[in-house]
Amino acid sequence: MTAKTPAALCRRFNTLLIANRGEIACRVIRTARAMGLRTVAVYSEADADAVHVALADDAVLLGPARARDSYLNIDRIIEAAKKTGAEAVHPGYGFLSENADFARRCAAEGIVFVGPTAEMMEAMGSKSGSKALMEKAGVPLVPGYHGEAQDEKTLADAAAKIGYPVLAKASAGGGGRGMRVVNSADELSAAIVSAKREALAAFGDDRMLIEKFVLNPRHIEVQIIGDSHGNLISLLERECTLQRRHQKVIEEAPSPTLNAAQREAVCAAARKAAGAVNYVGAGTIEFVSDGKETFFIEMNTRLQVEHPVTELITGVDLVELQLRVAFGEKLPLTQDQITLNGHAIEARVYAENPNKNFMPSVGRIRTWQTPDKVDGLRIDAGYTEGKTVSPNYDAMLAKVIAWAPTRDLAISRLNRGLEETDVRGVITNIPFLSALITHPDVRANRIDTSFIERELAKLTPAETALTELELGAAVGAILQSEKIAAGRDAHSPWRASGWTAVGMRQRNFVFRQAEGERRVALRYGSGSSVLAIDGRELSFASSASARGGLDLVLDGVRHHVAGLLDGHEVYVRTRNGRFEVHWVDPFGTEDEEQAGADRVVAPLPGTVVALLVEEGAAVEKGAAILTLEVMKMEQTLRAPFAGTVKQLKCKVGDIVAEGVELAEIEPKG
Ligand code: ADP
Ligand code: ADP
Ligand code: MG
């Protein structure tokens, strides 16, 4: 069967199935709705109550939580489209968005795939294939090897010829996975084994390519879109230099690094790259720049996570353009109608703990509070209060995106947006994102892709001491939670003792932080209360705020703060930042057991992918014991102290539950 032309594959449709989840499914539904389309969501067993399911007109259960049983199951998705009369599928990003078999299957079933054809995907989707094409088209490439032969000697010879340091990359890679920087020849073989393993697990394909590792690079990429009538335009560039482990963290548009001539040059190179395959649909051409030269690294044949920054500076809705191209329309804009307005910057909010090597955090979201609607602030979220973050998928919860006339103002607006976003129940990277974007070197654009790694200690500060304001907010949070509990339970002791008190009474609070305990006494009578802190007495009142959070009056000043009690932990956010403090509850039973801190346990459910020591081996503190794959990322578990490996309690391939001990180490001496 010969491939159909793009024009033959495009047609007007009324019902769109979104083969994705989370924020991007919500984002696509929003525009599809506005264009009058009927929308169909698909979901896994873990996502039955997810936001995207509720947003769509219809929804179809695909199967169990595991992606390969649900969001990656092509048969089930096609079946869902047929059952619901969906005539088109939008793949979002990740999952099947760059899967040529899926695009081909849609075409064969008469379903419009919102994206390029399978053939274009095959030509550009693999990093090696696209580099071969770009070489022919005369687009500058990073020096490297992207051939078919994959034996160790070929790769080693290629690396030696290119010169170290090199980057070993999975040809099918995405999201920074399957990629290792190799500094010298003796590191190469181990790096390739581990990158191949990660690539096989993530993409089902472990072919590698080798590239010169560009030093102090910046990541610049160009948004393009083509229609089925041969028109192709670029929509300016984005800069995504702030990365961790080759994964973007902050993205902005336009690039603060390029001047007008450089901007025009990189956009022209991108149009040439996409033009080489007569590209149809939205796509991104990615480059790295060493400050002098700009080299093509890959093309993503889909909508990108960071597409909103482009939308905010161009005023174009990229999903609308994607859908209109899929209808078979001509692009409604010409190149000279794409103009640059202001500056936009985006931060990716993840459920992860920056203080613990960015370990993903899963569980139920207890609080989900985002700022009031403000001009120039956009929040693309896939979660709300009460929803559960599952270990089966990517940990990105939302994107906070700010627009302003200048870069400096956009950064300030983004920071304010982050500060007013409060997510509790799972640990998030929000404080880290705030610290990052307000770092003086980020403000001044003195960055490269290793910036985060270098500055990590400054970006993940140890906890700071509580001031009177945070202590007041903590007391306010406890009182508030008791008030709610008392409202629910008419027999609560707080009803009798706390709130109908006669005369002056006193209640003592003890809060514990790493650096010690703080004591606060609340003295209250009819009408007025005071807090006694370190010998000072401050007038005190606290009530639920109409804006959410608490209105706290302390020493005559009204503060708007956030405070939440979760078990014994009090979460507080004030103008001084975010704080977590342990409340030593006089009535509660303290469970001080530090599970896991001195044992090798699975921090989250995962799969054992490698055992790095043998039973009986002597290990130093911090020695790598085994590798666990958690939420698609490899995590190395290390020895908590020096000793001997007494027993390995798992084997490669085991799927382990959270909290299970995986290895027993006998301490030395
Ligand atoms: P972007 O360039 O849009 O930032 P990334 O490469 O970071 O995109 O990936 C976007 C999302 O898709 C991430 O959540 C990533 O985990 C996921 N992803 C990327 N490529 C693949 C793939 N081939 N298979 C599965 N998930 C992928
Ligand atoms: P992915 O498909 O995972 O997005 P990329 O090839 O786009 O893979 O690489 C991810 C990131 O790694 C890039 O954004 C860039 O910052 C960095 N990178 C990629 N290639 C090179 C290189 N040759 N030299 C230096 N950094 C690179
Ligand atoms: Mg990339």
CA of 268 relative to ligand 2 center, distance in Å? 21
Greater confidence (660 vs 287) lies with 287
Contact 47, 24 (CB under 8 A): no
The CB-side HSE value for 349 (13 A sphere, CA atoms) comes to 31
| CATH numbers and ranges of domains, the chain | 6-114 (3.40.50.20), 128-141+218-341 (3.30.470.20), 143-212 (3.30.1490.20), 342-461 (3.30.470.20), 468-583 (3.30.700.30), 600-667 (2.40.50.100)
Span 104-130, mean pLDDT? 95
Distance 126 CA to ligand 2 centre (A): 14
Atom of ligand 2 nearest to the CA of 248: 14
Q: Which atom of ligand 1 is nearest to the CA of 304?
A: 3
Average pLDDT across the chain, whole number: 91
Least confident of 63-77, 475-489, 638-652: 475-489
Residue 489 reports pLDDT greater than 60: no
593 to each of 510, 603, 667, how far by Cα in Å? 19, 15, 19
Q: Residues lining ligand 2, judged by CB closer than 6 Å?
A: 142, 167, 169, 173-176, 179, 211-214, 217, 219, 243, 246, 286, 288, 297-298, 449
The Cβ of residue 186 has, within 10 Å, a number of other Cβ atoms equal to 8
Using most ligand atoms within 8 A of CB, pick from 20, 24, 68, 93 the residue to mutate for ligand 1: 93
CA distances from 130 to 4, 124, 204, 209, 255 (A): 21, 5, 19, 12, 24
pTM over cut 0.95 = no
DSSP notation for 199-266: HHHHHS---EEEEE--SS-EEEEEEEEE-TTS-EEEEEEEEEEEEETTEEEEEEES-SS--HHHHHHH
From the CA of 286, give the closest atom in ligand 1: 2
Task: Report d(CA 114, CA 111) in Å as an integer.
Answer: 9
Q: Does 288 have pLDDT greater than 90? A: yes
- Measured distance CA(112)–CA(12) in Å, rounded: 9
Cα separation of 634 and 362, whole Å? Answer: 16
- Take residue 306 and report the two structure tokens written for it: 């960071």
Which helix H or strand E contains 504, and what residues bound it?
none
Q: Report residue 29 CA to chain centroid gap.
A: 20
Which residues, judged by CB distance below 6 Å to any ligand atom, belong to the binding site of ligand 1?
93-95, 98, 174-175, 202-203, 247-248, 300, 304-306, 394, 396
Q: Order the strands of the 15-18 sheet from edge to edge.
A: 58-63, 38-44, 15-18, 88-90, 112-113
Of the pLDDT bands very low, low, confident and very high (cuts 50, 70, 90), residue 586 is low
Alpha carbon of 13 to ligand 2 centroid (Å): 37
pLDDT interval class at 349 (50, 70, 90): very high
For residue range 364-379, list pLDDT tens digits in order.
998 898 988 888 999 9
Name the packing angle between helices 22-34 and 318-327 (round to 10°).
60
Give residue 488's pLDDT. Answer: 64
Percent helix, strand and coil across the chain, each rounded to 5? 30, 35, 40
d(CA 100, CA 92): 14
> Which positions ≥6 away from 528 have C-beta within 8 Å?
539, 541
| Ligand with minimal distance to 308 CA | 1
**Amino acid type, 120:** M
3-state secondary structure of 162: helix
Q: Is the pLDDT reported for residue 501 higher than 70?
A: no
Q: Which atom of ligand 1 is nearest to 173's Cα?
A: 23
**Cα–Cα distance between 598 and 176 in angstroms, integer?**
31
**Distance, CA of 310 to CA of 320 (rounded, Å):** 14
Question: What is the pLDDT averaged over residues 448-458?
Answer: 95
Per-residue tokens: 242: 């702030």
- Write the residue with the smallest CA distance to atom 17 of ligand 2: 246
Q: Is the pLDDT of residue 495 over 60?
A: no
Spatial distance between the Cα atoms of 403 and 611, rounded to a whole number of angstroms: 47
pLDDT category at 21 given cuts 50, 70, 90 is very high
- Ramachandran quadrant class, 548 (left: phi over 0; alpha: psi -120 to 50; beta: rest): left
What residues contact residue 172 under an 8 Å CB cut-off, 6+ apart?
A: 125, 126, 127, 178, 199, 203, 204, 205, 207
Task: Give the pLDDT band of residue 160 (cuts 50, 70, 90).
Answer: very high
Examine the pLDDT at 81 and tell me if it is beyond 80.
yes
Expressed in angstroms and rounded, the spacing between residue 297 Cα and the centre of ligand 2 is 7
* Dihedral class, residue 659 (left if φ above 0, else alpha if ψ from -120 to 50, else beta): left
**Confidence band (pLDDT; 50, 70, 90) for 433?**
very high
624 band by pLDDT with thresholds 50, 70 and 90: confident
Q: Which ligand does the CA of 450 lie closest to?
A: 2
> How far does residue 218's CA lie from ligand 3's centre (Å)?
12
Which amino acid makes up residue 52? H
CA pseudo-torsion sign 493, 496, 500, 503: negative
Mutate to test the pocket of ligand 2, among 209, 297, 302, 348 (most ligand atoms within 8 A of CB): 297
Instruction: Give the list of residues 6+ apart from residue 426 with CB closer than 8 angstroms, or none.
Output: 351, 361, 362, 363, 364, 365, 389, 397
| C-alpha span between 493 and 170 (Å, rounded) | 61
Check pLDDT > 50 for residue 594.
no
Q: Give residue 92's identity as a one-letter amino acid code.
A: G
Alpha carbon of 285 to ligand 3 centroid (Å): 9
What is the arithmetic mean of pLDDT over 151-162?
95
Ligand that lies nearest to the alpha carbon of residue 282, given by its number in the listed order? 1
Residue with the smallest CA separation from ligand 2 atom 13 is 246
R_g of the chain, CA atoms, integer Å = 27
* Position 201 pLDDT exceeds 90: no
User: Which of 76, 238, 302, 578 is the catalytic position?
Assistant: 302
Residue 2 above 70 pLDDT?
no
Respond yes or no: is residue 12 known to be catalytic: no
Residues 6 or more apart in contact with residue 195 via CB below 8 angstroms: 168, 169, 170, 178, 179, 180, 208
Higher-confidence residue of 220 and 657: namely 220
DSSP string across 386-420: T-EE-TTS--EEEEEEEEESSHHHHHHHHHHHHHT
Is the pLDDT at 25 greater than 50? The verdict is yes
Nearest CA among 424, 252, 258 for reference residue 348: 252
φ and ψ at 430, to 5 degrees? -60, -50
Reading the block at residue 585, the tokens are 């509850």
Q: Which residues contact 18 (CB under 8 A, 6 or more apart)?
A: 25, 28, 29, 32, 39, 40, 41, 42, 52, 56, 89, 90, 92
Distance CA 114, CA 318 (A): 12
